[in-house]
Amino acid sequence: MPLSKKWTRDELLVVLNLYHKLTFGRLHSRNPVVIEMAEKLGRGANSVAMKLCNLASLDPALKLRGIKGLSGASALDRSTWNEFHTDLNESVPASEEALRALFGADESSELEVLPKEGVRLRKRPPSGPTETTANVKLRRGQEYFRDAVLNNFGGRCGVTGLAVRELLIASHILPWGTHPTERLNLCNGLSLSRLHDAAFDRYLITFDDKFRLLLSPRLKNELSQRAVTENFGAYEGEHLQIPDDAALPDSSFLAEHRKRFIAKK
């Protein structure tokens, strides 16, 4: 019987990128994303799915939800997991670049991981002068964060359930500019419609410790407007719509947002 092909660190870094763009229930060999990744790596879909489930056993965000992965994580799995998460600002852009290279994405292409469809490439709108290396690195991190956060919420707005991906934003709970170490942390992200992202960013809405929507006095004073009633008043007090197998937003990050929300009253 032939020996199984050993996993390498570089392969695991790409698979970890994919891992954070799929909820636990999607980590199976029938998932089109897993199938496409396996083909690119020259591995079987079962092998990739098993590795993803091994990595899940190392994920503290899943442990908080009582979800356990497979128990076969190797020493290399553990060391690569720690390496990836020690400095996300370095590891994420590198892994995103490796993922793009694996799927043949050039600078004219955007890569998107769609759990129900697979890995998709599409032409990027012209961006003008050539970007600096620093700008490309930032963009790679932003691309990863968007896919990871939107997919963590099932491709829907966490408030309204809106499922038009072009109208969704991966919102940062702790602001990008003031919290650089949390910029690419999946648990620092909410999937919101463009309207609700703008309201969250300006502390017109927030969420309590049970993930229920709170409205600012400013919005409550405008409930006579149909648009405010339908887009905000109708959802006041309702819980964030988060899949059962998703990583929860960090409650301490939301508590910090609520402090600023209260201060704005």
Per-residue pLDDT of the chain (265 residues; tens, 9 = 90+): 345 789 999 999 999 999 999 999 999 999 999 999 999 999 999 999 999 999 999 999 999 999 999 999 999 999 999 999 999 999 999 999 999 999 999 988 999 999 999 999 988 776 555 556 668 899 999 999 999 999 999 999 999 999 999 999 999 999 999 999 999 999 999 999 999 999 999 999 999 999 999 999 999 999 999 999 999 999 999 999 999 999 999 999 999 999 999 988 6
| Structure token pair of residue 89 | 């600002």
- Number of residues that this document lists for the chain: 265
Contact (CB, 8 A) for 183 and 176: yes
Question: 235: helix, coil or strand?
Answer: helix
Closest CA to 96 of 171, 16, 30: 16
pTM: 0.93
Neighbours of 76 (CB within 10 A): 14
